[in-house]
């Protein structure tokens, strides 16, 4: 049944499960404190094209990623819903307020705005993704919770790694586990990852001088 759901139908069923209701606001993060608290993180996330070892893939870009997604991701590492020993240790050393501050720093004052511009043609494998990530990976103008991350401009090999982890159940997310299974082959995953990575985006490697 799942394979017949397009992104919008999945969105509607996600809403029926109560997942699209915005949660209460967190205590606002302080970006200046967040930049200081990100000090150890620059060692990996502040170096362009730094790579994870075993398996080998690029460390994700975080600058201008949505704050709500950063917060969710760090809680998922803490809880072990995302299995990565280093990130589990890093996230476990942070308080909820540290996480809010870091997320406020990484996002910057304004979240990236969705846009309709698409570079090239949207591959058919990526059409189901548009309802939440936008046709160009810059997101959609809707208050979705959990907040879908920016995919545009992210490292292609990191996106591939993430989709493989959802598909085989190592990374657990009630929405994306189903979506990743729509990508039947490794080739489908490569196509969508390369497509979203190629889209123009403000997503960047973090820089310690600020930007
Ligand atoms: C030793 C290198 C290293 C350090 C240090 C590190 N990270 Fe990471 N981080 C990674 C890798 C590798 C991933 C991708 C892991 C995966 O596949 O889930 C990642 C993923 C993330 C993600 C998820 C990004 C996404 O798109 O889902 C966030 C958020 C994050 N790190 C924040 C931090 C913060 C905050 C710190 C400092 C407290 C930190 N990281 C320190 C290597 C590192
Ligand atoms: C119903 C909304 C929805 C649809 C449709 C959807 N996604 Fe997602 N996506 C999300 C959410 C929410 C997350 C964050 C999940 C989490 O925290 O692990 C996410 C996360 C991701 C990530 C992880 C990014 C990172 O930085 O780690 C990738 C890659 C991704 N989606 C790709 C896709 C692709 C490719 C499709 C289409 C085949 C798709 N998504 C369809 C909502 C959606």
Q: Is 176 in the pocket of ligand 1 (CB under 6 A)?
A: no
Which pLDDT score is estimated for 91?
98
Return d(Cα 87, Cα 144) in angstroms, integer.
Answer: 25
**With contact defined as beta carbons under 8 Å apart, do 150 and 138 qualify?**
yes
Choosing from 57, 70, 137, 148 the residue with most ligand 2 atoms within 8 A of its CB, the one to mutate for a pocket test is: 148
**Is the pLDDT confidence value at 8 over 70?**
no
Compute, in angstroms, the gap from residue 137 CA to the centroid of ligand 2. Answer: 10
Q: What is the number of the ligand closest to the CA of 34?
A: 1
Asked if residues 34 and 27 have their Cβ atoms less than 8 Å apart, the reply is: no
pLDDT tier for residue 146 given thresholds of 50, 70 and 90: very high
Q: Which atom of ligand 2 is nearest to the CA of 172?
A: 18
pLDDT for res 209: 65
Phi-psi region of 26 (alpha: psi -120 to 50; beta: other; left: phi over 0): beta
8 A C-beta contact, residue 188 and residue 125? yes
How big is the chain, counted in residues?
211
Whether residue 145 has pLDDT greater than 60: yes
C-alpha 179 – ligand 2 centre gap (Å):
7
What's the whole-number mean pLDDT along residues 122-143? 96
Neighbouring C-beta atoms of residue 152, cutoff 10 Å: 25
> What's the pLDDT at 19?
45
Question: Which residues, at least 6 apart from 146, have a Cβ–Cβ distance to it below 8 Å?
Answer: 19, 68, 69, 72, 173, 175
Q: Chain-centre distance of CA 163, in angstroms?
A: 11
Query: Does any ligand 2 atom lie closer than 6 A to the CB of residue 203?
Result: no
Q: What is the mean pLDDT of residues 2-12?
A: 46
C-alpha of residue 1 to centroid of ligand 2, in Å? 19
65 versus 1: the higher-pLDDT residue is 65
Residue 208: the pLDDT is 75
Q: What is the pLDDT of residue 180?
A: 95
Nearest CA to ligand 1 atom 13: 59
Rounded to whole angstroms, the Cα distance separating 73 from 85 reads 14
Q: Are 136 and 199 in contact (CB under 8 A)?
A: yes
Ligand 1 binding pocket includes 203 (Cβ within 6 Å): no
- On average, the pLDDT of the chain sits at 89
Is the predicted pLDDT of residue 16 greater than 90, yes or no?
Answer: no
The CB density around residue 150, as the number of other CB atoms within 10 Å, is 26
Give which of 196, 76, 73 is closest to 134, Cα–Cα.
196
pLDDT digits (tens, 9 = 90+) for 22-81: 444 456 899 999 999 999 999 999 999 999 998 999 999 999 999 999 999 999 999 999
**Residue 83 CA to chain centroid, in angstroms?**
15
Task: Please report the pLDDT score of residue 54 as a whole number.
Answer: 86
- Report the pLDDT averaged over residues 129-141: 97
Tens-place pLDDT, residues 153-196: 999 999 999 999 999 999 999 999 999 999 999 999 999 999 99
């Amino acid at each position: 049944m799942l394979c017949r759901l397009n992104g919008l139908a999945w969105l509607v069923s996600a809403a029926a499960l109560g997942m699209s209701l915005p949660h209460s606001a967190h205590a606002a993060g302080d970006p200046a404190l967040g930049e200081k608290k990100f000090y150890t993180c620059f060692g990996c996330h502040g170096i362009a094209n730094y790579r994870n070892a075993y398996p080998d893939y690029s460390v994700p870009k975080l600058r201008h990623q949505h704050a709500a997604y950063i917060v969710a991701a760090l809680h998922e590492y803490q809880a072990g819903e995302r299995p990565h020993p280093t990130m589990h240790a890093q996230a476990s050393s942070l308080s909820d307020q540290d996480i809010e501050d870091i997320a406020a720093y990484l996002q910057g004052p304004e979240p990236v705005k969705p846009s309709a511009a698409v570079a090239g043609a949207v591959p058919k494998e990526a059409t189901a993704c548009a309802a939440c990530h936008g046709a160009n990976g810059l997101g959609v103008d809707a208050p979705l919770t959990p907040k879908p991350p920016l995919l545009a401009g992210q490292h292609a090999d990191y996106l591939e790694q993430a989709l493989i982890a959802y598909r085989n159940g190592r990374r657990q997310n009630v929405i994306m586990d189903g979506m990743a299974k729509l990508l039947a082959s490794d080739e489908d995953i490569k196509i969508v990852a390369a497509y979203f990575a190629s889209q123009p985006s403000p997503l960047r490697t973090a820089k310690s001088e600020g930007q």
